[in-house]
Amino acid sequence: MSPALLNFIEIFMNGLMAGIMYSLVALGFVLIFKASGIFNFAQGVMALFAALTLVGLQTGQVPFSHLINAIFGTDIHNWGEGMNTVLAILLAMAIMVALAWAIERFVLKHLVNQEPIILFMATIGLAYFLEGLGDLMWGSDVKTLSVGLPSGGSFWWEDVTREWAAAGSEYFGMYIDLLDVSATVIAIILVTALTLFSQYTATGRALRAVADDHQAALSVGISLRTIWVIVWSIAGFVALVAGIMWGSKSGVQFSLSLIALKALPVLILGGFTSIPGAIVGGLIIGVGEKLAEAYVGPLVGGAIENWFAYVVALAFLLFRPQGLFGDKIIERI
Amino acid sequence: MKMKSMLLAAAVAATMGATPAFAELVFPSLSYRTGPYAPNGIPFADGYADYLTLVNERDGGVGGVMISNPECETGYNTEKGVECYESTKGEGSGALIYQPLSTGITYQLIPKVTADGIPLHSMAYGRTSAMNGKVFDWVFNYPANYWDGATIAVQHAKDMSGGDLNGKKIALVYHNSAYGKEPIRTLEEKAKTEGFELMLIPVDHPGQEQKSQWLQIRRERPDFVFMWGWGVMNAVAIQEAANIRFPMDHFIGIWWSGAEQDVLPVGDGANGYKSLNFTYVGTDKPVFADIQKHVVDAGKAAGDGSNIGTVQYNRGMYAAMLAVEAARKAQELTGKTEITAADMREGMEHLDVSDDRMAEIGMPGFGPAVSVTCANHGGSGAALVQQWDASAKKWNAITDLIASNRDLVTKLALEDAAAFAAENNITPRACN
């Protein structure tokens, strides 16, 4: 094969894997929107908060230590060497469940039957609150996150693909990031687990019932409040996974919350109510922006991938306003 | 009723007995302790504040006048930065100097400080041509600017290449903003004279995803990569460079791409990465013992002490030291202790912080000696190259201060300043 074709394949594959990373963030939005009709503006900050909590537990950081030291004049920062990664992930998950309960108890419960825009505004407030809480609990310094996932380019893949190039051509092999491969595997497991959960468990069926019709679900005895806690907990879990994957790439810092910006075009394209839509949307956006950056970027000065993703999403909107897999919008007059 | 009368009497007595407000030297901080750039903003603001606290606590201020350091949170947001400027410029007897730590905010403040007559010190950032004091009366960017940085990075690459860059390829990975674009013109000029090919690779804010850019670098195999990044963009770029196994000693960042928080998240992969710097890194200078005693131990530190000695903290200290020395010079020139913003500018235009002076104040070799004039607001332009040692988790200076190609930088700055003067109907002042 010619190096140009191999380069195209390389960009395409890396685009697919970047798309998976976007899908991980988009999934959290979809879960909450599907179950409660709320566009959760705080999803990106939840990923940041989850990752901060995980690193804090891993490294044995005392939460609110700056505040405690300032008030009591103490000098405490760590409670020990930290904890095992698996235990830290489980505990971080428990904290995300507690957060989901608190969100339902102190925010959503008081906003039942309010307009969607009011719920959306509440999640904006929640985003700012969580941002501040994360800072206060764990500090705003950049934290290194490692959960033992492999990262860096694959030598093996480079060697294999180098052989594919035409003899005599200058080709260095195809690049693939092992962290992206891990993210792909984890995303597949996550989506499979979510699908099985929603199809084959009583709670999953209750979630789908609420997603289909709140009033009908209430009439058969499904507790809306319990369902909201469950769905926000699952979204918290997805946020934790997204936080781990993105935090492993760049360290855990405030910018992690901005990954939500990457999920928006995915949601527009895939639809706000479809889990497969979030995955396929992510893949299309990932491939589209990477190919655009590589082949169109040099013609227009580069750095086009961010806005190009939105252009692709908007183009889809013109033809399918509900997104690729979203529920069809039917207005009866 | 009795209690009410007593309180009223106490209030009146307090009012009658109050002395006029103490004169202060007001150095506001347009800091950012929140938002995506907080990991960089916090240590700089802490270093700036702690040095000013040290001068107050140890020396009783400058010439007996205490320094006040009102902070306003900008979040690295240009609009908020302008609001902060407007809300702090009238503090106390009036702000004497601004240090916004943002090129975007600097650009917006240039016309404002010029109209208000308040000095703006964009230390090694902001508008490069502001080094021309004839056009930019109120703006200073000593001790170095981005164009200096570009020529120094090229010089270092040239030294590594046996003195010849002809036929080499240099990629510039830059934050796609006014800041990141600053070195392009200089590098284009250097590409012509040195014979290297320049590849421009922009990265959009915030720079969390850079796969496309690094795949391009991997394909095109530049000999050197220069980086003009900020915030998370730096760590991601260094991680991606490590992933594609780019030789890290050929990867050179500007001074805003070379702090601990840029390399620590990458772990061992960042080993050997280089950046420019113009300040000392570490705590092995006498001034740090004073900071410990008068600031940290006294419970007056701006942070928790964990940033002391880091790149950005020390840079904040250096900026504060230059502000203090300028105020001291202004007092000396005017013969009065309570100085105005105009006096402060005089002090800055006559600033002469020699190596001896830095040794005298417990900061020997902390940064380049700075000499400013009416015409030259940019200092000497020298900077050094530091390299990250991942196992020791520390930066090591690997060169002495390298002189900038000031002939080229001055030529470009004059052209740019002349264009700015023409656009804004400014008649350059005479500096005799």
Q: Are the CB atoms for B155 and B402 separated by under 8 Å?
A: yes
Instruction: Report yes or no: A46 at the B interface, CB cutoff 8 Å.
Output: no
Q: How near does any CA of chain A get to the CA of B350, in Å?
A: 38
Tens digit of each residue's pLDDT (9 = 90 or more) over A178-219: 999 999 999 999 989 988 998 899 998 998 888 888 888 889
Helix (H) or strand (E) holding B252: strand B251-253
Residues B214 and B158 in one domain: yes
Between A233 and A172, whose confidence is greater? A233
Of the partner residues B34, B203, B219, the one whose CB lies closest to the CB of residue A7: B219
Instruction: Report yes or no: A10 at the B interface, CB cutoff 8 Å.
Output: yes
pLDDT value, residue B16:
43
pLDDT value, residue B17:
42
Of the partner residues B35, B215, B304, the one whose CB lies closest to the CB of residue A11: B215
Tens digit of each residue's pLDDT (9 = 90 or more) over A219-238: 999 998 899 999 999 999 99
Question: Does the pLDDT value for residue B309 go beyond 90?
Answer: yes
Q: Is residue B6 part of a domain?
A: no
Tens digit of each residue's pLDDT (9 = 90 or more) over B102-127: 989 999 999 999 999 999 999 999 99
Of the partner residues B212, B231, B242, the one whose CB lies closest to the CB of residue A294: B212
Q: Are the CB atoms for A144 and A161 separated by under 8 Å?
A: no
CA angle at residue A61 from A57 to A66, to 5 degrees?
A: 140
Count of the separate structural domains present in chain B: 2
Between B29 and A324, whose confidence is greater? B29
Q: Is residue B373 part of a domain?
A: yes
Which of B230, B178, B229 has the alpha carbon at shortest distance from B38?
A: B230
Q: Which two tokens stand for residue B139?
A: 């703006």
Interface confidence: ipTM more than 0.90 = no
- Please, which residues 76-135 of chain A have a Cβ atom closer than 8 Å to chain B? 77, 131, 135
Q: Which two tokens stand for residue B173?
A: 């990975």
Across the interface, whether the CB atoms of B208 and A258 are under 8 A apart is answered: yes
pLDDT value, residue A331:
64
pLDDT > 70 in chain A, percent: 98
Residues B253 and B156 in one domain: yes
Three-state DSSP state, B377: coil
- Range from B144-148, B231-235, B302-306, B381-385 carrying the lowest mean pLDDT: B302-306
The 3 state secondary structure assigned to A62-108 is CCCHHHHHHHHCCCCCECCCCCCHHHHHHHHHHHHHHHHHHHHHHCH
Q: How near does any CA of chain B get to the CA of A202, in Å?
A: 39
Across the interface, whether the CB atoms of A250 and B235 are under 8 A apart is answered: yes
The residue in chain A having the minimum alpha-carbon distance to the alpha carbon of residue B39 is: A141
Which of A300, A275, A304, A274 has the alpha carbon at shortest distance from A288?
A: A304
Residues B316 and B262 in one domain: no
Q: Is residue B246 part of a domain?
A: yes
For residue A210, give the amino acid letter.
V
Q: Which two tokens stand for residue A12?
A: 């395409």
For residue A315, give the amino acid letter.
A
Q: Are the CB atoms for B328 and B347 separated by under 8 Å?
A: yes
**Listed residues B235, B259, B277: the one ending a domain:** B277
**Coarse DSSP helix, strand, coil percentages of chain A, rounded to the nearest 5 percent:** 70, 0, 25
Question: Does the pLDDT value for residue B192 go beyond 90?
Answer: yes
Across the interface, whether the CB atoms of A259 and B211 are under 8 A apart is answered: no
How do B251-253 and B274-277 pair as beta strands?
parallel
Q: What is the mean pLDDT of residues B37-57?
A: 95
Tens digit of each residue's pLDDT (9 = 90 or more) over B125-138: 999 999 999 999 99
Of the partner residues A18, A250, A262, the one whose CB lies closest to the CB of residue B239: A250
Q: How far apart are CA A238 and CA A191, in angstroms?
A: 10
Q: Which two tokens stand for residue B112?
A: 């404002």
For residue B404, the Cα-to-chain-centroid distance in whole angstroms is: 17
- Range from A109-118, A219-228, A323-332, B85-94 carrying the lowest mean pLDDT: A323-332
Domain span holding position B210 = 146-277
Across the interface, whether the CB atoms of A262 and B208 are under 8 A apart is answered: yes
Q: What is the mean pLDDT of residues B379-391?
A: 96
Residue A117: burial class (beta carbons within 10 Å; 0-12, 13-18, 19+): exposed
- Reported residue count of chain A is 333
Q: Is residue B10 part of a domain?
A: no
Q: What is the mean pLDDT of residues A71-92?
A: 90
Q: Which two tokens stand for residue A326?
A: 């979203």
Tens digit of each residue's pLDDT (9 = 90 or more) over A141-150: 889 998 999 9
pLDDT value, residue A330:
67
Task: State the pLDDT confidence band at A168, using cuts at 50, 70 and 90.
Answer: confident
Of the partner residues B38, B213, B236, the one whose CB lies closest to the CB of residue A254: B38
Q: What is the mean pLDDT of residues A256-270?
A: 88
Contact residues on chain B for A162, CB-CB shorter than 8 A: none
Residues B152 and B135 in one domain: no
Task: State the pLDDT confidence band at A70, using cuts at 50, 70 and 90.
Answer: confident
Question: Does the pLDDT value for residue A95 go beyond 70?
Answer: yes
Q: Is residue B11 part of a domain?
A: no
- Please, which residues 138-177 of chain A have a Cβ atom closer than 8 Å to chain B? 140-146, 151-153, 172, 175, 177
The structure tokens 């023409």 sit at: B422
Task: State the pLDDT confidence band at A171, using cuts at 50, 70 and 90.
Answer: confident
Q: What is the mean pLDDT of residues B353-372?
A: 96
Question: Does the pLDDT value for residue B3 go beyond 60?
Answer: no
pLDDT value, residue B22:
58
Return the C-alpha torsion angle B118, B123, B124, B128, nearest 10: 0
Q: Is residue B13 part of a domain?
A: no
pTM of the model: 0.90
Helix (H) or strand (E) holding B107: helix B103-116
Instruction: Report yes or no: A201 at the B interface, CB cutoff 8 Å.
Output: no
Of the partner residues A140, A143, A175, the one whose CB lies closest to the CB of residue B215: A175
**Axis-axis angle for helices A275-295, A260-270 (nearest 10):** 110
Q: How near does any CA of chain A get to the CA of B427, in Å?
A: 35
pLDDT value, residue B13:
46
Residues B370 and B419 in one domain: yes
Contact residues on chain B for A172, CB-CB shorter than 8 A: 218-219, 221
Residues B210 and B286 in one domain: no
Between A328 and A284, whose confidence is greater? A284
Residues B91 and B189 in one domain: no
For residue A259, give the amino acid letter.
I
Q: What is the mean pLDDT of residues B215-230?
A: 95
**Coarse DSSP helix, strand, coil percentages of chain B, rounded to the nearest 5 percent:** 45, 15, 40
Q: Are the CB atoms for B44 and B69 separated by under 8 Å?
A: no
Tens digit of each residue's pLDDT (9 = 90 or more) over A119-156: 999 999 999 999 999 989 998 888 999 899 998 899 99
Q: What is the mean pLDDT of residues A174-178?
A: 93
Residues B56 and B158 in one domain: no
Average pLDDT, chain B: 93
Tens digit of each residue's pLDDT (9 = 90 or more) over B325-338: 999 999 999 999 99
Instruction: Report yes or no: A8 at the B interface, CB cutoff 8 Å.
Output: no
Tens digit of each residue's pLDDT (9 = 90 or more) over B150-189: 999 999 999 999 999 999 999 999 999 888 999 999 999 9
Across the interface, whether the CB atoms of A254 and B239 are under 8 A apart is answered: no
pLDDT value, residue A250:
83
Q: Residue A324 contacts by C-beta under 8 Å, 6 or more apart in sequence?
A: A269, A270, A271, A274, A277, A280, A281, A284, A316
Q: What backbone phi and psi angles, to 5 degrees, belong to A91?
A: -70, -40
How do B384-389 and B274-277 pair as beta strands?
antiparallel
**Listed residues B233, B258, B277: the one ending a domain:** B277
Question: Does the pLDDT value for residue A327 go beyond 80?
Answer: no
Of the partner residues A21, A144, A177, the one whose CB lies closest to the CB of residue B243: A177
pLDDT value, residue B306:
85
Q: What is the mean pLDDT of residues A77-91?
A: 91
Q: How near does any CA of chain B get to the CA of A226, in Å?
A: 34
Q: How far apart are CA B254 and CA B404, in angstroms?
A: 13
pLDDT value, residue A239:
95
Residue B272 φ/ψ region, left for φ over 0, alpha for ψ in the -120 to 50 degree band, beta for the rest: left
Q: Residue A34 contacts by C-beta under 8 Å, 6 or more apart in sequence?
A: A211, A272, A273, A274, A275
Question: Does the pLDDT value for residue B7 go beyond 70?
Answer: no
Contact residues on chain B for A18, CB-CB shorter than 8 A: 209, 211
Across the interface, whether the CB atoms of A255 and B36 are under 8 A apart is answered: yes
Q: Are the CB atoms for A120 and A41 separated by under 8 Å?
A: yes
Q: Is residue B389 part of a domain?
A: no
pLDDT value, residue A36:
80
Which of B429, B373, B299, B307 has the alpha carbon at shortest distance from B142?
A: B373
Residues of B with CB under 8 A from a CB of A: 33-36, 38-39, 42, 176, 200-204, 206, 208-209, 211-213, 215-216, 218-219, 221, 231-232, 235-236, 239, 242-245, 261, 264-267, 269, 299, 304, 306
**Listed residues B277, B295, B320: the one ending a domain:** B277
- Looking up residue B182, the CATH number of its domain turns out to be 3.40.50.2300
Residues B270 and B303 in one domain: no
Of the partner residues B38, B208, B245, the one whose CB lies closest to the CB of residue A140: B38
Average pLDDT, chain A: 90
Helix (H) or strand (E) holding A6: helix A3-36
pLDDT value, residue B12:
47
Q: How far apart are CA B360 and CA B357, in angstroms?
A: 5
Q: How far apart are CA A234 and CA A256, in angstroms?
A: 19
pLDDT value, residue B421:
94
Residues B151 and B261 in one domain: yes
Residues B307 and B365 in one domain: yes
Task: State the pLDDT confidence band at B18, using cuts at 50, 70 and 90.
Answer: very low
Residues B114 and B153 in one domain: no
Q: Is residue B253 part of a domain?
A: yes
